[in-house]
Amino acid sequence: MNVRAAVCTGLHEPWKVEDVEIGDPHANEVKVQMVYAGMCHSDEHLRTGDISAPTEVLEFFGVDSLFPCVGGHEGAGIVVEVGEGVKSVSVGDHVAAAFMPACGICFWCASGRQHLCDLGMSTLAGPMMSDGTWRHHLNGKNVNRMTQLGTFAEYMVVNEASVVKIDPNASLKAAALISCGISTGFGSAVDRAKVTPGETVVVVGCGGVGAGAIQGARLAGARQILAVDPLPFKTDKAKTIGATHTAASMLEANLMLPDMTQGRMADVVILTPGVLTGDLIAPAMALASKDGRVVTTAIAPFNQDKVDLNLFNFAMFNQALLGTVFGSCSPRVQIPNLLRLYEAGMLEIDDLITQEYTLDQVQNGYDDLASGLNIRGVVNFSA
């Protein structure tokens, strides 16, 4: 069938709606009708070149380019067709997309770390992970899909490992945001940094992922949450979801923390700016206390392989620098859990959706994100 999908055809090319031909689901694949898709910054990385890969890596994926690519990896929808052997979902089930697939049987999945599933290695580009064939074509040519998903499309055909079944009564709009940004931020605080009651947490970058981190810190019992963002609109919103203090920069935060912490500095620093670069590590480490944990959640361009880090202080202050993917929690655990928190009124999502867009307006949504107007934009497929 032909579906309308927002596709990026090359570096710095705009997201543009095209008719993409998708095949029927093969074994272990499902077809999902999309209802909402969230507009995470990571899709923009693909367009701007902040997510890229060397030629030899692309060859490994069986492609010569990351383009063309159907965008979108946040979203929720309804299963409309299942291929042979699909066990985890049936037609009619409501599902959230998971940018980290979870096979359930590899070493990482079996040891409770589905966010590290070995299938994750095939998500950059390339054919279906089920059988290595292509299911998506544009003008007769193969099309990549963002993280083996492509939620900016009316329908997507994906491996069942890439969807998480959710409660049929759960809000699909909330599920769309929880499917990546909120889960990643929340887990950065709760599952990676393991914030404990009474701690002081700094969240650097207050977009969709930062909004998850602030709320994770709040629910974990942080006494103080310092939200850092140059845009007042973002820090104002941060105050409504748990931030107790705000700053426009890490430098300003550095000057505030001694007074806030009897000179000890922050227990936890979570880095969720739009793009991570090596030069942000030293100022982030300087915000952290002795025994402090610094979590790098934001994605850095592939060529960022140098950081400034004073190794004497790092060891003598007993500090930790931690990476995280999907907030270091299994999607099949985190997504339903956070939906329940949302339903209990303990997790704010609705107010983080600044604007809804049609599929044709995906580029407008990313322009608004770049202009600092959105915490999260959402594609509403019924609009």
Rule CB under 5 A: choose which of 22, 37, 39, 40 binds Zn ion.
40
- SS3 for 81? strand
Q: Which two tokens stand for residue 88?
A: 């985890």
* # binding residues, ligand NAD (CB under 6 A): 31
Instruction: Classify residue 112 as exposed, middle or buried by CB count within 10 Å of its CB (0-12, 13-18, 19+).
Output: exposed
Do β-strands 69-70 and 144-145 pair in parallel, antiparallel, or remain unpaired? parallel
Q: Which two tokens stand for residue 375?
A: 């915490």
Of 200 and 246, which CB lies nearer to ligand NAD in the complex structure?
246
Single-letter amino acid code for the residue at 35: V
Question: Does residue number 354 form part of the binding site for ligand NAD (CB under 6 A)?
Answer: no
Rule CB under 6 A: choose which of 147, 297, 319, 361 binds ligand NAD.
297
Task: Pick one of Zn ion, ligand NAD, none as the site partner of residue 228 (Cβ within 5 to 8 A by kind).
Answer: ligand NAD
Of 248 and 383, which CB lies nearer to ligand NAD in the complex structure?
248
Of 83 and 230, which CB lies nearer to ligand NAD in the complex structure?
230
Yes or no: say if 271 and 298 are a contact pair by the CB < 8 Å rule: yes
Interactions with ligand NAD, residue window 21-50 (CB under 6 A): 40-42, 45
Yes or no: say if 205 and 275 are a contact pair by the CB < 8 Å rule: no
Question: Does residue number 229 form part of the binding site for ligand NAD (CB under 6 A)?
Answer: yes
Task: Pick one of ligand NAD, Zn ion, none as the site partner of residue 109 (Cβ within 5 to 8 A by kind).
Answer: Zn ion
Minimum CB–partner distance for residue 175 and ligand NAD (Å): 16
Q: Determine the angle formed by the axes of helices 362-370 and 41-48, rounding to 10 degrees.
A: 90
Q: How many other C-beta atoms lie within 10 A of the C-beta of residue 122? A: 19
Interactions with Zn ion, residue window 323-362 (CB under 5 A): none
Do β-strands 29-38 and 155-159 pair in parallel, antiparallel, or remain unpaired? antiparallel
Rule CB under 5 A: choose which of 180, 271, 287, 338 binds Zn ion.
180
Interactions with ligand NAD, residue window 138-197 (CB under 6 A): 180-181, 184
Minimum CB–partner distance for residue 156 and ligand NAD (Å): 18
Query: Measuring CA to CA, how many Å separate 86 from each of 56, 130, 147?
Result: 33, 11, 20
Identify which of 341, 348, 342, 351 has the alpha carbon closest to the alpha carbon of residue 376: 351
Of 79 and 163, which CB lies nearer to ligand NAD in the complex structure?
163
Q: Which two tokens stand for residue 159?
A: 């491996």
Interface contacts to ligand NAD, rule CB under 6 A: 40-42, 45, 180-181, 184, 204-210, 228-231, 234, 272-275, 297-299, 324-326, 369, 372
Interface contacts to Zn ion, rule CB under 5 A: 40, 42, 103, 106, 109, 117, 180
